[in-house]
Amino acid sequence: MQAPIQELIPAELQSRFAKARNVLVLTGAGVSAESGVPTFRGGGGAAVWKGMPFDVISSAGMVQQNLQAVWEWFDYRRNLLSELVPNAGHLTIASWQERFPEFTLVTQNVDGLHQKAGSKNVIELHGNIWRARCIACESRFDLRISHPRPDNCISCGERLRPDVVLFGEMLPAGAFELAAERAVRCDLCFVIGTSALVYPAASIPEIAKSAGAYLCEVNPERTPLSNICDEVLSGSAGAILPLIGAATN
């Protein structure tokens, strides 16, 4: 027999969740993996595209050397993502934006599944695979409504590139700063489905904790952040997050 929800979700977390006024959520690849999104990296199964490893074809240098190859790689990835749908983790996080007076969602993911689930005003630390960006004037284009994918900017005529952060590039201007500012002000912070190995994203929950927030990690395995968390829930976002809401209703 399955344990009651109240026993699966610790009482302290239930209380914090029920009373929270300002909540910040940081998500990583683990949330989207449940929807079937490949991570394209890691170990012997690392993706190779036309003989080039993932971190080469997805690099700033490759944009300069062979932008066409970069687009072929990202077109392939978008095709894989096109039929995927948000899972219970995405949907639960989207519902939280109506639950709290202040809510901030920060994601390392580029797949757009949070927005597809209904999340608004998402802080995208690594960009979005469904957008193109002009290499000159920085104009952005929604590839979900641009068919076929445009090769050149309609504003200035220059070439377009994927609007994602590639290896060797900085985060979008202001994205981390905004996330950090929100982290300082939150009273409850969730870090969900991330290895906590990629900085500066991994410093966001550290900032929240240092400012006095209650920090909860949801992940199948422990991470470098686990030891500073007030609560660590072992499991998938899709299985655990709906329980957190249900336990406090």
What is the set of active-site residues? 126
Nearest by Cα to 111 from 100, 122, 103? 122
What stretch of H or E contains 76?
A: helix 67-81
- Packed helices 11-19 and 237-247: angle between N→C axes, nearest 10 degrees: 70
d(CA 22, CA 183): 9
Q: With helix as H, strand as E and coil as C, how does 169-206 read?
A: CCCCCCHHHHHHHHHHHCCEEEEECCCCCCCCCCHHHH
> Phi, psi (5° rounding) for residue 85?
-125, 155
Q: How far apart are CA 74 and CA 54, in angstroms?
A: 11
Query: Is residue 171 exposed (0-12), middle (13-18) or buried (19+ Cβ within 10 Å)?
Result: middle
Q: Are 136 and 129 in contact (CB under 8 A)?
A: no
Count of CB atoms within 10 A of residue 72's CB? 14
Cross-strand bridge partners of residue 102: 22
Element containing residue 58 per DSSP (H, E): none
